[in-house]
């Protein structure tokens, strides 16, 4: 029974860690997209 509880606890920690990692990656991609969009707008204004 203890091994089963430990397994569920470990699985839960991995899921939570995975969610935080994906959320962080999404934020990084969003920031990168904003910079690309800003650069495109600057180039458009210069033309």
**pLDDT tens-place values along the chain, 47 residues long:** 888 888 888 887 777 676 667 777 788 889 888 989 988 888 889 88
Structure tokens at 40: 């495109």
pLDDT at position 7:
83
What is the reported pTM? 0.53
pLDDT at position 28:
85
Write the CA distances from 17 to 6, 13, 22, 25, integer angstroms. 16, 6, 9, 12
What single-letter DSSP state applies at residue 1? -
pLDDT at position 24:
78
pLDDT at position 26:
81
pLDDT at position 9:
85
Structure tokens at 11: 């699985």
- The H or E element spanning position 27 is helix 2-46
């Amino acid at each position: 029974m203890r091994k089963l509880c430990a397994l569920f606890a470990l699985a839960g920690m991995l899921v939570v860690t995975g969610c935080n990692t994906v959320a962080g990656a999404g934020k990084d991609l969003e920031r990168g997209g904003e910079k690309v969009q800003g650069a495109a707008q600057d180039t458009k204004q210069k033309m």
